Amino acid sequence: MLLSIDLAFIIEKLVLIVVVVMSSLVIAMYATFGERKVAAYMQDRRGPNRAGPGGVFQPLADGLKLFFKEEIIPNFSSKFLFILGPCLAMLTAMMTSAIIPWGDKINIFGRDIYLQIADINIGILYVFGVVSMGVYGIMIGAWASNNKFSLMGGLRAASQIISYELAMGIALIALLMVTGTLSLKTMVVGQMDGYWNVFKQPLGFLIFLICVFAECNRTPFDLAEAENELIGGYHTEYSSMKLGFYLFAEYINMFVSSAVMVSLFFGGYDIPFLNDGHAIEKIGQNWMAIAHIACFLLKAFFFVFFFMWVRWTIPRFRYDQLMNLGWKILIPLALFNMLVTGALILLKQNNWHF
């Protein structure tokens, strides 16, 4: 028997994919502008202010500049892999957004549309799978460049991402023990009914936050592109839109990582101190969905700002300090957090008796 194809469902998901991808690209584009403005404010200067009112068209000018720059592929590079590297980095940055619940649901033409591309029951494992693929984009681009500085940057990025993924994974195991699910949607719904997970797992959140900085190659963990040591790191040989893909991927990763943190620890699209049932009765399901999306984006934008704040406040680590923090501090802390969480869960199940 052939499976029946729900055409409306396919169209609904395709529209949702286009909206999420385009929104992520626009947010990443204006995150570059936001970063320059935040840096300017912290350093007591104006920042970009020529292109449009207050410099608001600066990202468009930067994009046009990258489009019209000369495409250079080094003669002794592996040309196919040289092009594949930035494409892979961009692709993996976008794929993570598929399992993020941006809101509850909207009703169009009598049909409920859930604001999540794919609610898979192994959501967190999917995130880890995609994030671990991201390192291939950097490593392939670095190796294909046939440049010693690029290769050194790629090696740094790979060892850094692998090291901090361990601590991040162990920190999330404790969260999974508390929530009892791998689905982001189920986690968000659970937090709407009770306390946010950040209150149940404060140490787990702190470890996760530090690891996200390392995974995104952001200051103080941007050793992979330390310009005072490695010229430009893994993207030294890149120009035009191939360089643009690497730079864009970093800002998309920032935004998507912020969205994942909000979903895991800060209630996702939950609006604090608001009874959703009463609000839906007063303003309707669709307006409530818009309020949910706005609340979710506000939380995510706060973390994007936090990324920028840290970048212009804290100096870069030495590489040995970076590795010591990952292996000697964060992994033991994450293991301690997991063991304590497990012990407390067992105690609670045993009515607090040993």
Q: Which domain holds residue 191?
A: 69-349
Evaluate whether residue 236 is within a structural domain: yes
Domain count, the chain: 1
pLDDT of residue 227: 61
Evaluate whether residue 56 is within a structural domain: no
pLDDT of residue 174: 92
Evaluate whether residue 226 is within a structural domain: yes
Task: Summarize pLDDT for 72-122 with one digit per residue, the tens.
Answer: 787 777 888 888 888 888 888 888 888 899 888 888 877 888 888 888 888
With 0-12 CB in 10 A as exposed, 13-18 as middle and 19+ as buried, what is 109?
A: exposed
CA torsion 8-10-12-13 (nearest 10°) is 160
Taking residues 56-81, report their average pLDDT.
Answer: 82
Evaluate whether residue 161 is within a structural domain: yes
pLDDT at 352 over 80: no
Evaluate whether residue 119 is within a structural domain: yes
Evaluate whether residue 204 is within a structural domain: yes
pLDDT at 339 over 90: yes
Evaluate whether residue 57 is within a structural domain: no
Task: Summarize pLDDT for 245-296 with one digit per residue, the tens.
Answer: 888 888 898 899 999 999 999 988 888 887 777 777 788 888 888 889 999 9
pLDDT of residue 206: 94
Higher-pLDDT residue of 87 and 227 is 87
Taking residues 145-161, report their average pLDDT.
Answer: 83
Evaluate whether residue 26 is within a structural domain: no
